Amino acid sequence: MTAIDSSRAALRAPVASASLAVLFAVSFCHLLNDVMQSLLMAIYPMLKENYHLSFWQIGVLTMAFQITASLLQPFIGLYTDKRPVPYSTSVGMGSTLAGLVLLAFTGSYLGLIAGAAFVGIGSAIFHPESSRIARLASGGRHGFAQSLFQLGGNFGTSIGPLLAAFIVVPRGQASLAWFAALALLAMVILWKVSEWAVSAGSKRAKGHVGVGLIHSRRRTAIALVVLAALMFSKNIYTASFMSFYTFYAIHEFGVSVQASQLMLFAFLGASAVGTILGGVFGDRFGPKMVIWFSIVGSLPFSLALPYADLTWTVILSIIIGLILSSAFPAIVVFAQELIPGRVGMISGVFFGAAFGIAGIAAAVLGIVADEKGVGYVYEICSYLPLLGLLTVFLPGTDAAKYDNVKTA
């Protein structure tokens, strides 16, 4: 066996037995984290009425959260690749807690922006390190571990609108402070998880085998650009649902605020299911196959959505959420394998930078909604899955077809 073959084998070999307890713990904390984050977007209709906001101001709120998270995540991930700081996840939850309290009691639009930014900072700290811990506990099943981790986040995001509909909307903005208890619970759990990670990381370091790039630098760079473009298209489309789907349902079909939030829950719930399926099938058939199916497969349904009635809008949104979300774990795992040893940086880029682009898109789409109407947003966004055709430029994932490894 050659040195290159040994490196490739080391790349895929389990470094530790899978720890389901740890995976479920970080997934559960991801659920709590994203419940708290999704509350902001779920109460947009209430904030719009209370503060007399325009659609572009709604978009700026989304941008304040996502840009804050995106700018910090890659740098935090890069730093922790060289010097892991596992207990930082609890600190991140503390920032989210502060953001929720500010959002609950502020009386100004600037206060809302600051609260959203604090929640974004918490997200920036939480995601790279938690993603690293999930991979550490994967036992080599990287797609499954990443999808299980993301599943918690997706379920948390889908639960947020329900909690907003039945708790925050009836009881008012101040009731957001009640959810600070979730942040405290997550801080305790993550502290214990970090203790495990410190021990497991130490054992892994003793048996670590250095692995270089599995493709040439040029092909690796092209693949990363393609993966980023695919992630951006997915997140921009998702941002259109997160920020404007409730308004679309109210404006186009005359449903109530609570009914619109239930429709958003259906979309996000389907996305959660699609995420876990994407990870499982990615381990079985390879991430490239899942990416092809996920992004391109959602195209006919996204094109039909703007012209559907209420019933078909619900059905199509569920199908889109199910198919489109399956790409996320495949994209992240694909990128992590392209650059071994940079799990934190890759997680930071794909959790952070992609969200940042989606945040900017939310603000731009808000301007479009003000000028052209919220229905027009879904007409132009329906073409985003076409970017899935860029998948053709991704290298194969079969070890037998890898380029010569360039470690220089």
Q: What residue ranges define each of the domains in the chain, with the CATH number in brackets?
A: 18-201+211-401 (1.20.1250.20)
Predicted local distance difference test score (pLDDT) of residue 133: 86
| Neighbour count for residue 408 (Cβ, 10 Å) | 6
Please tell me the distance from the alpha carbon of residue 271 to that of residue 150, in angstroms, as a whole number.
10
* 220 in Cβ contact with 339 (< 8 Å): yes
> Six-digit token pair at 275?
């995420």
Q: Greatest CA span in the chain, whole angstroms?
A: 68
Which pLDDT band holds residue 13 (cuts at 50, 70, 90)?
very low
Predicted local distance difference test score (pLDDT) of residue 29: 93
Which pLDDT band holds residue 209 (cuts at 50, 70, 90)?
very low
Query: Is the pLDDT at 351 greater than 60, yes or no?
Result: yes
Closest residue by Cα to residue 282 from 133, 127, 145: 145
Predicted local distance difference test score (pLDDT) of residue 112: 92
Q: How many CA atoms lie within 13 A of 285 on its CB side?
A: 14
Write a three-state SS string for 140-177: CCHHHHHHHHHHHHHHHHHHHHHHHHHHHHHHCHHHHH
Q: What is the pLDDT of residues 117-161, one digit of tens each?
A: 999 899 888 888 888 888 888 777 777 888 888 788 777 877 877
SS3 for 357? helix
**255-259 long-range contacts, Cβ below 8 Å, gap at least 24?**
255/310, 257/45, 257/46, 257/165, 257/169, 258/165, 258/166, 258/169
Predicted local distance difference test score (pLDDT) of residue 268: 81
Of 195-204, 222-231, 237-246, 294-303, give the lowest mean pLDDT range: 195-204
Query: Is the pLDDT at 408 greater than 60, yes or no?
Result: no
Q: What is the mean pLDDT of residues 207-234?
A: 75
Predicted local distance difference test score (pLDDT) of residue 203: 54
Q: What is the pLDDT of residues 281-293, one digit of tens each?
A: 877 888 888 888 8
Q: What is the mean pLDDT of residues 320-345?
A: 81
Predicted local distance difference test score (pLDDT) of residue 356: 67
Q: What percent of the chain stands above pLDDT 90?
A: 19
Which pLDDT band holds residue 359 (cuts at 50, 70, 90)?
low
The CA distances from residue 293 to 151, 210, 363, 399, in Å, are: 19, 33, 29, 21
Predicted local distance difference test score (pLDDT) of residue 54: 86
> Six-digit token pair at 164?
């907003």
Query: Is the pLDDT at 10 greater than 60, yes or no?
Result: no
Predicted local distance difference test score (pLDDT) of residue 213: 66
Residues near 138 by beta carbon (within 8 Å), at least 6 away in sequence: 14, 18, 23, 144, 145, 146
| Higher-pLDDT residue of 321, 7 | 321
* 93 in Cβ contact with 189 (< 8 Å): no
Please tell me the distance from the alpha carbon of residue 356 to that of residue 304, in angstroms, as a whole number.
27
Q: What is the mean pLDDT of residues 15-20?
A: 56
> Six-digit token pair at 340?
């071994």
Of 12-16, 38-42, 62-66, 250-254, give the lowest mean pLDDT range: 12-16
* 329 in Cβ contact with 117 (< 8 Å): no
Query: Is the pLDDT at 7 greater than 60, yes or no?
Result: no
First to last CA, the chain: 21
* 232 in Cβ contact with 328 (< 8 Å): no
Of 176-180, 271-275, 356-360, give the lowest mean pLDDT range: 356-360
Query: Is the pLDDT at 405 greater than 80, yes or no?
Result: no
Q: Which residue has the tokens 């503390």?
A: 94
Report the range out of 174-183, 299-308, 322-331, 359-368 with the highest average pLDDT: 299-308
Q: What is the mean pLDDT of the chain?
A: 80
Of 13-22, 63-72, 340-349, give the lowest mean pLDDT range: 13-22
Query: Is 0.75 topped by the overall pTM?
Result: no
| Higher-pLDDT residue of 396, 394 | 394
Q: What is the pLDDT of residues 107-122, one digit of tens each?
A: 899 999 999 999 989 9
